[in-house]
Amino acid sequence: MGRIVGGIGSSHAPSFGPVYDKGQQKDPMWAPLFDGYVPVRAWLEGLRPDLFIIVYNDHGNQFFFDAYPTFALGASEAYPQADEGWGKRDLPDMRGDPDFSWHLARSLVEDEFDPTICQEMSVDHGVMSFMPMLTDTRWPVPIVPFAVNVIQHPVPKARRLYKLGQAFRRAVESYPKDIRVVVFGTGGLSHQLQGTRFGFTDPNWDNEFLDRLETDPEPLAGLSHRDYMERGGTEGIEMINWLPMRAALGPAVRRIGRTYHAPMITGYGLLALEPA
Amino acid sequence: MGRIVGGIGSSHAPSFGPVYDKGQQKDPMWAPLFDGYVPVRAWLEGLRPDLFIIVYNDHGNQFFFDAYPTFALGASEAYPQADEGWGKRDLPDMRGDPDFSWHLARSLVEDEFDPTICQEMSVDHGVMSFMPMLTDTRWPVPIVPFAVNVIQHPVPKARRLYKLGQAFRRAVESYPKDIRVVVFGTGGLSHQLQGTRFGFTDPNWDNEFLDRLETDPEPLAGLSHRDYMERGGTEGIEMINWLPMRAALGPAVRRIGRTYHAPMITGYGLLALEPA
Amino acid sequence: MLDEISGAAVFTGERSRAGYRLNRMAMSLTDPANREAFVADETGYLRGIGLNDVEADLVRRRDWKGMIEAGGNIYLIIKIAGALGIALYEVGAHTAGMSLEQFMAQRKGR
Amino acid sequence: MLDEISGAAVFTGERSRAGYRLNRMAMSLTDPANREAFVADETGYLRGIGLNDVEADLVRRRDWKGMIEAGGNIYLIIKIAGALGIALYEVGAHTAGMSLEQFMAQRKGR
Ligand SMILES: [Fe+3]
Ligand SMILES: [Fe+3]
């Protein structure tokens, strides 16, 4: 049987790309954030993971409003990088694990989730931007990307995402192979990209979210979209992507690492947990 | 508030197209089936419906396995006919009702369904083949097509589709406008298009299904896919598309019409119900 | 996993993966221009759309049973038959290991 | 329906419907060849991809606020800006009713 051995929440941002590609992780503007990724990366490697499940959101690159999935589950052997409108970075395709993807599909459909299953799928900065901080860019660990609609309302409820994480755990534990799985959730933290509050961040809310996610996550599943967007900005609704990661770990966790930094117009955070 | 005023279950088949287009509904081979549609069509017109919700399945025409939705909800102003590989029939686009579609999307997502929402969508014989038997082909009543994956396993459970119908009812009843809605479910009945049982039909199972759907539908939601496919053929799994229609009507129904005929390699059926 | 029912392949994700190219080729035939190109030059069309030799050979030999075994989905495969003017009954009979004549004779017998 | 939060449009289905052509045009710019064609001949590109005059005018006037009001999604709209070499801060400031300079001054003040 499979086992969930860790969970990582991380912000993603287009700006992480140039930082990594130009080796600026130690620059004063970025070091307060990316210094925190260094020990988490070492811990992650030490976990000897066989698979990453990555809950993220696309930003109008893989999916368009002709057919917009609430949930899209990748079931491909490879996930190329999307060109988001400003060219691709020099990164290889990410590797998939279709056997696990189809097992996950069966388990989720049995649990009354209704994913769209994608055998061709590119991934954008929602996956590609922070992963180089956490693992070798030859991508030694295969991924199962799981895209959540957080941009075209109605978006799924926080509660639904919490239940999704619990369903991930059932899927992993019912897998016939002894694989070690790390679940990622990525998005946010607070930011707003348009309207009178353009540039809004709220470090208080972001840190409260990180606190509660670690120690008492279930009430976060009860917050409304209005709660998330008033406190974290309209685009801060992405924070709900972190809930499946936390729910998949089970009630008790141990904190491995945590960082927060808001140098621009987004609250950037990292939280690494393992089941206690 | 909206109201569900009727429910229709019908088979669909590519062969219905030529029958209608050549005016062969009265031919001895087809009359035993299509004679049954005549009074149902009159009843349907008398209901003065404002909207049809049509639960059907696509057959590799609108959706491909690059991104296959478990549930796809149409939210378009128009639904053109798909070319299925042998040319289109001379039929206009079907009309949509995006306002209701988006209301339905919000209501379903609130109820923890995860549809893919389609603002561009063609419909194949799953919708177009039987509708000319039931309404004018200038399509006076707008539709909301709802496509269910019944061809790439895992397909949703019968139970999930039953709950979907209950959710349709909540959506209709929470709509601010006083609209009169008829819910359709289409697929099957028994048939198997490949393998050693090619050509298999089972009129006993089909009629048992029609009986139970009318009078005691809930246990049909408890049957497994294996049950449906062993009794109704691998492609007979389409019969689960009838469950949302029945569940949307509520517990007590009155039968308006029912027909069954199996002249070829599919059990063809029609069942029209209204809330009692 | 539900993989077969009464002698028929259940079209699972695993089969969908195996038959991906074949099914994609079949779906391309929903475009009339592609149907014309396919009929005019089968071999060229199948190569151009990226089938491997084994898959192209299944199509050229009208091996409907083989296409299903290779992950073809019946709803897609019959688009290939349709473009070639071959009817569903012939395809279905072949997947059942029969000729069309055998199938029709057996049906009459029922 | 949740349509606005603290002075920002919530990108609802209704907005998605209204902005469909504009967003589709923006997404087309994920293809480098389309970016080139757009920059080389804006008016021709916008007409060719089916924008109406009002929509094309919003793009030509760099009216980012107007694009959002017309149903543009911010993640799509910034692809238009990207192709034109305009940065997110300028787009965002405009949607807030400010110039880039005003926005930066206000930020410093915080
Ligand atoms: Fe994001
Ligand atoms: Fe069908």
* Bridge partners of residue B183, in order along the sequence: B7, B53
In this complex, is the C-beta atom of D37 within 8 Å of any C-beta atom belonging to chain A?
no
Size of interface A-C (CB pairs under 8 A): 16
Would you place residue C7 in the very low, low, confident or very high pLDDT band (cuts 50, 70, 90)?
A: confident
Q: Which of A84, A151, A199 sits opposite D11 (nearest CB)?
A: A151
Asked if D33 has any chain A CB less than 8 Å from its own CB, the reply is no
Is residue C31 less than 8 Å (CB to CB) from chain A? no
In Å, how far is C56's CA from the nearest CA of chain B?
19
**8 Å CB contact of B75 and D14:** no
Identify which of B146, B186, B164, B145 has the alpha carbon closest to the alpha carbon of residue B37.
B186
B276 by DSSP, 3-state: which? coil
CA A139 – CA C43 distance, rounded (Å) = 38
Q: What is the pLDDT of residue D107?
A: 82
Rounded to two decimals, the ipTM of the complex is: 0.97
Helix orientation angle between D20-28 and D74-83, rounded to the nearest 10 degrees: 50
For ligand 2, the distance from its centroid to the CA atom of residue C92, given in whole angstroms, is 15
Whether C47 is in a domain gets the answer yes
Place of tokens 């939601």: B221
What single DSSP character describes residue A81?
A: B
CB neighbours (10 Å) of residue A92?
A: 11
Contact map slice: B 130-149 vs A, CB within 8 A: none
State the residue for tokens 């194949």.
Answer: B124
C23 backbone dihedrals φ, ψ, rounded to 5°: -70, -35
DSSP A266: B
| CA distance linking residue B233 with residue B192, whole number of Å | 5
d(CA A64, CA D28): 10
pLDDT for B119 equals 98
- Average pLDDT of chain B? 97
Say how many domains are in chain D.
1
Cβ distance B246 to B180 under 8 Å? Answer: no
What span, in angstroms and rounded, lies between the C-alpha atoms of B174 and B117?
A: 20
Return the percentage of chain B with pLDDT > 70, whole number.
100
Calculate how far, in angstroms, residue A126's C-alpha sits from the geometric centre of ligand 1: 6
CA distances from B264 to A79, B13, B18, B106, B191 (A): 45, 11, 15, 42, 10
On whether residue C17 sits in a domain, the answer given is yes
C-beta separation of A129 from A14 below 8 A: yes
Q: Token pair 């019409």 is at which residue?
A: B257
Element housing A38 (H / E): helix A37-46
Asked if D35 and D84 touch (Cβ cutoff 8 Å), the reply is no
Whichever domain contains B218, its CATH number is: 3.40.830.10
> Mind telling me how many Å the CA of B235 is from chain C's nearest CA?
9
Residue B111 corresponds to which tokens in the numbers above? Answer: 């109820």
pLDDT band at C6 (very low <50, low <70, confident <90, very high): confident
List, as one string, the DSSP characters of B77-103. Answer: SEEPBPP-SS---S-PPEEB-HHHHHH
The residue segments making up the domain with residue D48 are: 10-106
Q: How confident is the model at residue C90 (pLDDT cuts 50, 70, 90)?
A: very high
Q: Does B102 touch chain D (CB under 8 A)?
A: yes
Q: How far apart are CA B10 and CA B184, in angstroms?
A: 8
Q: For residue D81, name the pLDDT band (cuts at 50, 70, 90).
A: very high
Subunit contact C20:B65, Cβ cutoff 8 A = yes
pLDDT reported for residue B224:
97
Q: What is the pTM of this model?
A: 0.98
Q: Scanning the structure block, which residue is given the tokens 């509904």?
A: B25
Q: Which of B82, B74, B246 is nearest to B147 (CA)?
A: B74
Which of the four pLDDT bands, split at 50, 70 and 90, describes residue C1? confident
Specify the pLDDT at position C109. Answer: 62
- Given a contact cutoff of 8 angstroms between Cβ atoms, the answer to whether A159 and A29 are in contact is no
Three-state SS annotation for chain D: CCCEECCEECCEHHHHHHCHHHHHHHHHCCCHHHHHHHHHCHHHHHHHCCCCHHHHHHHHCCCHHHHHHCCCCHHHHHHHHHHCCCCHHHHHHHHCCCCHHHHHHHHHHC
- Partner residue opposite C92 with nearest CB, options B85, B87, B193: B193
pLDDT(D108) > 80: no
**C59, C9 Cβ separation under 8 angstroms:** no
* Pick among B62, B108, B114 to test the A interface (most A CBs inside 10 A): B114
- Would the CB atoms of C107 and B199 count as touching at under 8 Å? yes
CB A235 within 8 A of CB A227: no
Kindly report the number of other CB atoms within 10 A of residue B86's CB atom: 18
Read off the CATH number of the domain in which D19 is found: 1.10.700.10
Q: Which residues of A18-32 are buried (b: 16+ CB within 10 A; e: fewer)?
A: ebbeeeebeeeebee
B15, B57, B61, B65, best to mutate vs chain C, most C CBs in 10 Å: B65
B188 contact partners, CB below 8 Å, separation of at least 6: B11, B206, B232, B235, B236, B237, B238, B239, B241, B242, B266, B267, B269
> Is C4 a member of any domain?
no
Dihedral in degrees, nearest 10, Cα atoms A206, A208, A210, A212: -150
SS3 content of chain B, % helix, strand, coil (to 5): 35, 25, 40
Residues A190, A193, A195, A197, CA torsion sign: positive
Q: What's residue C110's pLDDT? A: 59
Low-confidence ranges of chain A (pLDDT < 50): none
Pairwise CA distance, residues A111 & A73, whole Å: 15
Instruction: Name the pLDDT band for D109 (thresholds 50, 70, 90).
Output: low
Give the pLDDT confidence of B191-226 residue by residue, as tens digits. Answer: 999 999 999 999 999 999 999 999 999 999 999 999
A38 Cα–ligand 1 center, Å: 22
Measured CA to CA, the distance from residue B227 to residue B269 in angstroms comes to 19
Length of chain D equals 110
Q: A243: domain range?
A: 3-82+90-275
Catalytic residue among B12, B59, B125, B261: B125
The backbone torsions φ and ψ at residue D99, rounded to the nearest 5 degrees and listed phi first, read: -80, 165
**CA angle at B105 for the pair B104 and B110, rounded to the nearest 5°:** 100
Beta bridge partners, B68, equal A117
Q: With an 8 Å Cβ cutoff, is D99 touching chain A? A: no
| Contact (CB, 8 A) for A126 and A186 | yes
Q: Is residue C15 part of a domain?
A: yes
Neighbours of B46 (CB within 10 A): 9
pLDDT score for B43? 98
User: Between helices A225-232 and A203-215, what is the axis angle to 10°?
Assistant: 130
- Number of domain units in chain A: 1
Of A189, A79, B151, the C-alpha closest to C74 is B151
Q: Could you say which of C30, C82, C96 has the minimum Cβ distance to residue B82? A: C30
CA distances from C43 to B69, B196, C25, C74 (A): 32, 30, 12, 22
pLDDT tens, residue by residue, B73-82: 999 999 999 9
Residue type, C3: D
pLDDT at position A172: 98
Contact B246, B9 (CB under 8 A): yes
| Residue B153 annotated among the catalytic residues of the structure | no
Q: Which residues contact C41 (CB under 8 A, 6 or more apart)?
A: none
Q: What's the rounded Cα separation, in Å, for the pair D19 and D72?
A: 5
